[in-house]
Structure 1
Amino acid sequence: MKLKYLLARLKKTKFFVLGAVFFAFLVIIPLLPFSAFSANSGTKIQFVTPAWVAEHSKDPNLRILDVRNFPLDYIEGHLPNAVNIADTAFRGPKEGLPVQYWNNEKIGQIFANSGVTNNSRVLVYSDDKDVLGATMVAYLLERSGLQDIAVLDGGYTGYQASQPVTKEFPKYTVGKFTVRDNASIRVTLDEVKKLIGKSGVTFIDPRPEKLFRGEENIWVRNGHIPGARNIPWVTFMDAQNPDQLKPLEDIKKILADKKISPSNDIIISCSTGREATLQYVVLKHLLNYPKVRIYEGSWTEYSAHKDLPVATGDEKVT
């Protein structure tokens, strides 16, 4: 009798476990945050040439974003089918802090109004020293869950030198863009606090040397996160065209000289979360460093917290 009873209980338990697993897949797992699965999201950001743009110009799924901040530059001439949305439109005040990224709903509306859908391939470009605007919007597209993103190497100037431009405005249907927030590619202030001085963690600060050293009186407190390595973002760019990347071998040497290894857990923090996006894209997507994240609040947020440590002068790497 006892044996029959135990077998019956075991059978019931087995069906209960199977039912629980089935329930989890149907109900619980879809409710988990997207970030739980985003580490292997498969997003690709590449730097492309004007020839690449010409080759893919007939792709009906390609959306081109001109993120130059002066509308008359766009009106005077732009890539065929490009939509102008200034990179400044993606940021504003948040809880008293300036130039913080808008919430996901507003970012999604901006992309949707620009003709972007969740299945679009998107090319982003800017000009002159505004390559940071292009990489910032590329980062936000990845952050929002888009898979296929490109940045025009050389920007508008480089494109115009070899390809025809237009003054005509594009015609398109506004679709739907749902932000699938990828939280795995950024860190919060609370996470930064825990990571300072931690073995295997490297902070990169791409600001100009004087800002890094705290020699310019801009913020309430000036300087850098203790232990950060200073690699000004301009060192990645060609001297003749600041919108065009140096060869990757040159960039690898810059990183090697600073003892930045692909094995590091890399956090990039700048002034406002914009400069950091260039080095994020290069290290993660072009050089395939496996763990690179951005501290979006950057020095604007960090320096406002008077309890946090601040270093000044040249970098001190232990």
Structure 2
Amino acid sequence: MTHRILTLFFVINFVILGTVAFGEITVISPQDANQLIEQTDETRRPIVLDTRGGYKDYFRGHLPTAHHINFGTLRGTDNGVPVQYLPDDLTAALLVRAGVDKDRTHLVYATGDVLPNDEILSATMVAYVLEKFGVTDIRIVDGGLAEWKAQGLPVTQKYFGNPEGDLPTAMNKEIGVNLDKLLSRKDKSDVVLVDARPHNEYIGEDDIWVRKGHISGAINFHWARLMEEENTHKFLPYSMVKSDLEKAGLTPDKEIIVYCGTSREGSLLRFYLRHVAKFPNVRLYEGSWKEYASLEQYPAETKSN
């Protein structure tokens, strides 16, 4: 009997601990996020990051204790290609300055609204950068600021500056791929390459990119199909989109590489597949179409796959 009890104890603890560890990068409701912010013990309060690109939006109102970290500051032109991720040392300095800390929970959010508002993409992009730098406790506030206000939760205009953070010693670069890795993997039978942009950009009916179309072999799954129509910051339950993902060939047994125009849309699709749907092997091609399209030696296509 004692042996059976001990066995059950270890099994329960394994399941609980495993679930908690796996769920630390996830979605959190505004009510639960507010409870974390209102904790009396300051050392246990989360680092709240407002990722919006418009600093005046932050001035107009934000979550209590929110520190503004404009997502755009994490990228710049490299070798002529715009909006590439900064070198690690520069990114690390910006994250430390924002208070990112290996021992704290991080609440990440932006504005919630209907399309063409896509501020959620700044939240998932910053969440991706945090995860790449080894942070393991990240929660995206479901519904963003719009849902926060709709639930009558407090908003402030007061600035909040975090003390300097302390980043993890080890990075988690395996969640992304560079161009060489993409080229070596994208045509494998067990790999699905998926473009997260709107369909018109995928087939080249746009005025944006230096080359039209998409990476050869890529399928298209627009990120907005995973979000509520009336609030593009609010994630649909996996049960509601599971069939659509399966029809597109996006299943947990596959290795999935996602990309988009500049990596923001891809960061949302990756976040959903990895941390909402719990797919085990999903990575982001960071260079995305902006890099690939500039390299004319590599094939592109405009037909749908």
Structure 1 residues 119-146: Cα deviation after superposition (integer angstroms, max 9, x where no partner):
2211100013210000000010000001
1:45 equivalent in alignment to 2:21:
no
**Alignment match, 1:90:** 74
Q: Which runs of 5+ in 1 are unaligned?
A: 1-40
1:198 equivalent in alignment to 2:188:
yes
Letter in 2 for 1:223: G
Aligned pairs for 1:125-144 (under 5 A) are: 125-127=109-111, 128=113, 129-144=118-133
3-state secondary structure, aligned to 1:215? coil
Aligned pairs for 1:249-264 (under 5 A) are: 249-264=239-254
Distance in 2 separating the partners of 1:220 and 1:78: 37
Using the size of structure 1 for normalisation, the TM-score is 0.82
Give the conservation status (yes or no) of the 8 Å contact 1:109–1:177. Answer: no
Segment drifting more, 172-181 vs 231-240: 172-181
1:149 equivalent in alignment to 2:138:
yes
Q: Structure 1 residue aligned with 2:215, among 192, 202, 225?
A: 225
Structure 1 residues 227-264: Cα deviation after superposition (integer angstroms, max 9, x where no partner):
21101111111111111112221221220121221111
Aligned residues: 275
Distance in 1 separating the partners of 2:22 and 2:87: 23
Aligned pairs for 1:1-318 (under 5 A) are: 44-57=24-37, 58=39, 60-61=43-44, 62-127=46-111, 128=113, 129-162=118-151, 163-177=153-167, 180-315=170-305
Give the conservation status (yes or no) of the 8 Å contact 1:197–1:226. Answer: no
Q: Which runs of 5+ in 2 are unaligned?
A: 1-20
Using the size of structure 2 for normalisation, the TM-score is 0.86
Distance in 2 separating the partners of 1:179 and 1:238: 37
RMSD (CA atoms): 1.6
Inter-CA distance 102–234: structure 2 relative to 1 (3 Å threshold): same
| Runs ≥4 residues deviating over 4 A | none
Structure 1 residues 9-43: Cα deviation after superposition (integer angstroms, max 9, x where no partner):
xxxxxxxxxxxxxxxxxxxxxxxxxxxxxxxx968
Structure 1 residues 138-186: Cα deviation after superposition (integer angstroms, max 9, x where no partner):
0100000011000011000100122111122225422433563212111
Between the two proteins, what is the percent identity of the paired residues? 36
Offset of 1:223 from its aligned partner?
0.9
Give the conservation status (yes or no) of the 8 Å contact 2:95–2:165. Answer: no
